[in-house]
Chain A
Amino acid sequence: MRRPGGEPRVEVAAEAPWVRRLAILLAVLVLGLLLLLPLLAVATEALRRGWTPVVAAITDPDALAAIRLTLLIAAISVPVNTLGGLAAAWCIAKFDFPGRALLLALIELPFSVSPVISGLVWVLLFGAQGWLGPWLQERDIQIVFALPGLVLATIFVTFPFVARTLVPLMQEQGRSAEEAAATLGASGWQTFRRVTLPDIRWALLSGVLLCNARAMGEFGAVSVVSGHIRGETNTMPLHIEILYNEYQFVGAFAVAGLLALLALVTLAAKALLERSGDLARLRRPPA
């Protein structure tokens, strides 16, 4: 970060201005075509027949249930992943232990396997024909095709977001501050709360928000474990697919618009927080 009133701006790129302009144009074009245009299409398709059918589609009991379910899943899986991701990142960045590289690789596993597999593993584990199926059935516990399965699949898919955001930052920050705190007699919790956490809070927030956006939007893994019971185990993305397949295009685009809006709000919150984070860091006097 360049401090205001510090050294004069230094041009780091020596390319001719037209190269830069071309690059900017290209980026804007790609963003416009691939990101803005589809979002615009969703909005116009939804509003094709005015607001009334949009409101009707969103206040439909099945849609409301899907919205509630999606928010509930996010409300459970995001905190779990925040704590788990924080713990994992902390271990990896601050300690040396055997299997550290393996843990790092494991954290990235959900990014590299297909979401369908991320869903199927739970069916293989907890399904009636799965490893734990008979045991669970005897006790009348329903995991797959119910909320727990949906939560597990979402947690699995979105686990890397917090950890992946934190690990590089914590590694870069090193351990000297924590070691100093320990020497001065701080307890583990004090060190974490007063030394580690303040340094990573903005990255943590950004990871949490990304995690939340994906938790609400996940389709593949959730589709496998959902069972597609209307008004019960259909999340928003699944509900959108159902509406689309039932030729209710306005309804599908209305709910899709709402989901996109939720994601946009999340991203806007992230951008805002990052800005205020940067400002706060600027205001802090140099150590």
Chain B
Amino acid sequence: MQGFPVSRRSVAGAGLVLGTALAGGARAQGATQLLNVSYDPTREFYRAYNALFVEDWKRRTGQTIRASTSHGGSGRQARSVIDGLQADVVTLALAYDIDAIAERGLIDANWQSRLPQNSAPYTSTIVFLVRKGNPKGLRDWGDLAKPGVAVITPNPKTSGGARWNYLAGWAWAQRQPGGSPQAAETYIAALFRNVPVLDTGARGSTTTFVQRGQGDVLLAWENEAHLAFAEFGRGQFDIVYPGFSILAEPPVAVVDRNVDRRGTRAAAEAFLKGLYEPEAQSLAAQHFYRPRDPAALAAAGDRFPQLEMITIDDPLFGGWRKAQADHFEDGGLFDRLYRPGR
């Protein structure tokens, strides 16, 4: 047929344009850019820290560096790095998510011992955000499982923060007089019966509670609770510190394979080491992350109330791998205990 030459030409043209796009899109490589792939609630903190680091790096090396960040649910971010997102450093919600990246060979297997304090430069914990005046009188974990209380928490299957929420409740129930795994199961089942909606990420749950006005209590990262508190005025919410919670240690790691290929190792390592420096530590405290540095913690005054906190390495959990397998894998305890709509 006579018409075909034209159509062939248009196809060739389309191919040409596409080819140009592909060639031009390959990210310009070089040591001038650092990508930090992080989880949701660290947005405000890393925006501030990036500026600090860029300035510091310029002062020390004379190089201008650009620090960019990507935020999302911790598990999803880990997945993106595995799928090829060119992260130089990851700063995620749980060690488990960094382990997942390490399993694919992108990060050295012993990453957690490369930096001080389990590679977690700041910590956080899980607190309750309640409506002003705490009308339902929610003081501790036991109150959350009572009938008629609506609890907002994200889904432990997708959200790092939600796993900390769940495990804190689990540990609390086991620590009660007469506590046992059975009692903890009963407690968790009752707690999640009170959850009307499971968002996929921590920020989504905060929005559900704060903006849409759903629920009596939000189980939140301490820094999320304070941020919502600061954003929406003190007239609407109260923060309740339960007597017992969990010590969340959000870890950081250099993505070895990416920095070696891109030649950014020096900057990436400096970026993470800098998080332990006094200036970054007080910046973390300003953004309601508990600093490791005792001086920064002391300077924060009564911003971080003392409370009893269990760690993930407690025999009750046995580390992230075991906790993940016992509780959150498909067919794990959470799947058996969570019965929506009942």
Contacts and interface: CB of A to CB of B under 8 A. Distances in A.
A83 B13 contact: yes
A191 to B, nearest CB: 7
Nearest to A95: B1
A76 B69 contact: no
Given A76-B17, A83-B14, A127-B83, A142 B27 contact: yes
Interface in A64-92: 76, 79-80, 83-84, 86-87, 90-91
B266 interface: no
Contacts of A137: 84
B22 A148 contact: yes
Contacts, number: 116
A146 interface: yes
A229 B68 CA distance: 7
Interface in B8-52: 10-11, 13-14, 17-18, 21-22, 24-27, 29, 35, 40, 43-44
Contacts of B82: 128-129
Given A142-B86, A145-B84, A227-B70, A76 B21 contact: yes
Interface stretch (A19-27, A49-57, A181-189): A181-189
B83 A129 contact: yes
User: Is chain A's interface secondary structure helix, strand, loop, or mixed overall?
Assistant: helix
Interface residues of B, number: 42
Contact of A188 (B6, B11, B26, B71): B6
B261 A140 contact: yes
Contacts of B25: 142-143, 146-148, 151
B1 A79 contact: no
Interface string A129-149: 110010001001111111110
B85 interface: yes
B231 interface: yes
Q: What size tier do the contact residues of chain A reach?
A: 35 or more
A242 interface: yes
Nearest to A136: B84
B5 interface: yes
B69 A230 contact: yes
Contacts of B10: 83-84, 86-87
Contacts of B161: none
A141 B6 CA distance: 32
Interface in A172-206: 178, 182, 187-189, 191-192
A92 B86 CA distance: 42
A87 B15 CA distance: 13
A110 interface: no
Contacts of B35: 229
A189 to B, nearest CB: 5
Nearest to A226: B70
B80 A227 contact: yes
B2 A182 contact: yes
A191 B3 contact: yes
A229 B44 contact: no
A144 B22 contact: no
Contact of B86 (A129, A145, A246): A145
B3 A142 contact: no
B22 A95 contact: no
Contacts of A87: 7, 10-11, 14
A142 B203 CA distance: 29
Interface of A: 76, 79-80, 83-84, 86-87, 90-91, 94-95, 123, 126-130, 133, 137, 140-148, 151, 155, 178, 182, 187-189, 191-192, 227-232, 242, 245-247
